[in-house]
Structure formats: structure tokens, C-alpha cells
Chain A
Amino acid sequence: MSASVVMILTGVLVATACALPGVFLVLRRMAMMADAISHAILPGIVAGYFLAQGPSLPAGFAGASLAAIVTVALVEALQHTRRVGGESAIGIVFPAMFALGVLLVSKYFANVHLDTDAVLYGNIEFAAFDVWLVNDLNLGPRSLWVMGALCVINLLFVGLCFKELKLATFDPGLAAALGFSPVLIHYALMAVVSVTTVGAFTAVGAILVVAFMIAPAAAAYLLTDDLGRMIALAIGIGAASALSGWFVALALDASVAGAMATMSGLFFLLALFFSPSHGLVARARRLRRQRLRLALENLVVHLLNHEHQVSEAHEAEIAHLSSELRWSPRFARWIVAIAKRDQLVQQANGYLSLTAAGRDLARQAAASRDREG
């Protein structure tokens, strides 16, 4: 396998493994916990390195998982004291753990393989050269084995606990009443996040793993209302980010993991603006349509109220409309133009009168407003 294929495959596997727990982090509003865990595992990894006298996967996993548990417990203990707000507790615990990790690295491994920059943004470029040897048998790149296993584990977790996760996420009260422990689900999810972060750490580092977990899931959240579809979309967006990011990195000769994570941010931005259901553009258009409809209704109801009155002529002047309905003159002219185009009103001798269609709309609107009180 060529080095490029290994990099892309690793990226896709990282994206898939991260998207699965990421969806639930976004839905449960715990995204920053991923950030805290990904930083806080550093001292655990260093301790594992220290104990195993070198890079060792099991020791690293054990140390990092322990550090992740300590972090979650510390954050919750701090919140439990009620002396510290939730987000402040996170902001105290993870920098302290990270500082401890950096301290250990620079004190004991200043000249060793553990590069502090790689801690932040990973070393996916070397994925192809770090092969797994068992009794001199070359089993291929280690990163593919690790991330592939994590994908399987996370798929099994989400697949087997789908109902429980869904219930505990959307209605924790009901989940507890039915006998599923939301606390248990919470810790299971935290465990999955920790293990995934540790596995992805060598490839993409402490900060970019947060992008892989949160950005595709958040983009998917803006595109669908169905949990199953959201998970599938998050995985798809993550994989697309990995693939397109690799080409960007190739073109710029820049960090591969960084480019992949940047692309996931770009995909999120696209969803943020152009999602048909929750995007900013669609939202703005919906608001504009509602405002227009309301203004048209106001116009025809106003004209209907004053039809066949002595003051009819005066009330139907465009200039008067803007002060009566509190519209700017420009807005009033615009609404009248649209009303004329839709043949709701007609203009004769400088003042407006209702057409038959306009009168119908006005009666409907007035009736529905009366009903709503």
C-alpha cells in the first residue's frame, strides 16, 4: 500500500470512529468534554511511555484511559462542590493536566521521540511507516489496525445501545423511569470518547481530534431531524473531509491532519449557511416571507376596515399608510407594489382600493386573527 493510501484510509477511519460518539456529544451538549479529555490524556500517555520504557500501545492506552477517567471525575467533583461553574471546572482541570503532561515531556523526554508539537496536531504523515510486526511478520500499518478496531468497537456500541442512547439523550427522565440508568450511559459514552481519542491521538493530535468529533456531527445536525440519518451523514461528511483534506494538504505541502480538520470546518460552514431546513440562508428567506405575508395582510385588512367610510380616500393614501402602519416610506411603496402585482389592490386617482381577491384575503386574515384573539 502506498503511503498516500494509508494516510487517506487512516483519516477516513479516524473520521468514522470519531463521528459515532461525536453525534451524541453534540446532541447532549457536551462537546467541550471531548476537548477536555483530548488534552488531559497527555500525562497518561507520557506515564505509559515512561513505564513501558518506550512507545507501547497497551501502556499508552492504559495510561490515557486512566487520565481520562481522572479528568471526568475531577470535573464532576469540582462542579459538585457548587463553588465552580460547569464550564469553569473544565477550564481549570484540562489545562492543569495538559501542563503536567508538557512538564513531564520536557523534563524526562526532552530529546526523545515524543515531539511536543505532534501532541497538538499529530503525525499522520508517518502512519505508513509505523508497521505492526508480530514475530517479524509484517501486518501492515499499525494506525489502520488501531483505528479499524476502534471503528468496529464504536459501531458495536452505537448499534447495540442505539435505543438506550437515543432515550437517554432526548428524554433522560423517561430513561431513568424505565430503568435505564442515564448515569451509566453517560459514563459509557465518556469511556468510548476517551478510548477513541487515545487511538486517534498519534494520528491527529489533541486538538484536531475535537474537530473530527464535533464538526461533522454538528453539520449533520443542521441537515436532518432523524438520529439514524444524522449518524450516517456525520460519518459521510467526516470521510469526505478526510479525502478532500488530503488533496488540499498535497497541493499546499502542509499538515495532512490539519487540512482534513479544516475541511470538516468548511463542510460545517456550508451546512450552516445552505442547509435547506436549518441553514442561515433558508432561515433568512423564511423570515422575509413571513414578514412580507404579515405586511400584505395588514395592508388589506386596513383597507377593508376603512372601505365605504368618509375617510376612505385619506386612509388609502400611500403616504398615510406609512404613518398608520408604522412602515418606512420605502417599505410601504415596496409592499404596495407587491400587492398590486399579486392583484390584491388596485390604484385609481392616487388612492388604493381592494380587488375581489384582496377583499377575500382581508376577510380570511381578519377572521383568523379574531379566532386567535
Chain B
Amino acid sequence: MSGHSYSYFPGCSQSGTAEEFGLSTEAVCRALGIELAELPDWNCCGASSAHMTNDLLSVALPGRDLAIANLLSKDLLVVCAACYSRLKVAQARINCDEALAGKIEDIVGADPRFNGEVRHLLDMLVNDIGFAYIKKWMKLELSGLKAVPYYGCLLVRPPEFCFCDSVENPTDLDRLLEAIGVEVRPWSFKTDCCGGSLSLSRTDVVERLVNRLFVRAEEAGASCIVTACPMCAANLEMRQKPGRLSFKIEHRVPVLYFTELLGLALGVAGVEKCLARHIISPMPLMKELELLTTERA
């Protein structure tokens, strides 16, 4: 197998609203022979709320995770785009500011100067594993599926931590999808913000951003939106038309994690169960394109 081994930061969303992202990630890694050792007793990175209101807290929370990662002395693989960003920013600040590093060390009670690399799952799959290897294990070409890749904010910004080939027009996810037979439709909204951090508090603002993304995806001729961010996915699926007692969906374009499609292409067991749990069900689309193994059997 591939012989790749990482310590693994699953992140909170991946056992909550984005459970399908976590499950499909682990299944895909198993199928590709990528070893993941979960960081023992990891804590929340603090996400937007920490850096928006308390600078020291926004470094100390991921600082404890980096201190734990130090003990495993492997590169740290991160699934969620926000966790990736927070861990990356914290690592850079700790490692180049001795005064801050000392302060964080005092607070977390361990050495937070992590010398390994913090890597995002997409980066690892595209740049370490590579398309040739993925194709070798592919069981099913996802032909007929038209997708727009949606990177969102935190995979590409801030630019100093962007692993993609471009900040404004990245193609990493595009190329990965093409490798497994997906038809990638061009659109201009790859890295536009969905308003995730305002999802609960200013639903009116978020509704406008989310609907624009759906309209543009439909205009681009996509039958699904593919993302690598659990906040984008939750926000898009749940915020088309926020209301009190009602829940309406006007744009029925499914929002999928790229790992689910990868899992489908690799013939990984359990991915179909993930697909079935989406709020905007991709099942009619998948059945129509005969992409489900249970349908073909």
C-alpha cells in the first residue's frame, strides 16, 4: 500500500453535523492504505469565535493540540478547513515568536512548538498520494456527474497557508474530481464565502450568500456542489430559507463532501449510507446515474 502515516485531528464537526465527512475520510484513507493515528484527547481549535474575541485563547486552544501532536512526531492531518486554518496560524505564530511560545507553554503545560507539518486532507491526497495511485484503486468512474468544486474560504485564505495552486482560482479539487471521472463545470464562485460564522446569528445575511451560490451552481450546469469544508456543507444544506417552524429547500442541488465521491469511486463500503443522510438528498441523482453499487447489483 501507499505507506503514508499521519497523526489525525478529526475536529468537532466530524462527529456532529458533518459526521459523513469524518466517516468517508476514514474509509477513503483505509482504502488507500493511509494510516491515521487520532490525536489522543484533542480539544476544539476554537474556530472563528476564539480569534474573533480573544487572541491568546485562539492560539492556546490549538496550542494544546500542537503539544499533543509533538508527542506523536508525525505530520498532523486535518479534515476541517477551519481547524486546518486555526492550527496552521497557531503553529506559525508559536514557532516564530518565542515570547508567545513561552506563554502558551505555561498555559497548556507542555511544549507547543510543533515541528511537523499541519496538512489538510485535500493537500495530502493531491500532493502526497497523487492521482495515478488513486486511479489504480478506482472501482467506478463517476461519469455523468456534473459538479462545481466549492473551496470556500479557509482552504485558500490566508494565502500564506494556501496549499492550492491558486488563491483566487484553485484547481486542486477540480483535478481530483476529474481524476475520478466527474465532469467539473467552470464557475466563478469557488472561493466565495458562504457566511458560515454567521449561520445562527444573522441568518438573513447567510440566506442571501447561500442562495447566490446555488443559483450560480445551477447556471453552471452542475448537478451537485462538492466541498471540503464542513461549515460550508452545513450552511449550504440548512440555510436556503431559514424559518421558525418551516424548513424549505428551493434549490435541490445536493452538497457533497469530496471524500464521499472519492469513496464511491474507490468502492468503499459505507459511503452510500453517508450519502443517504444528507438533508438535500443526492440519492435520486445517484440512482439516475447508476452510481450506487446496491443499484447495479
B and A form one assembly: no
Chain B contact residues, CB within 8 Å of chain A: none
User: A-side interface residues toward B, CB under 8 Å?
Assistant: none
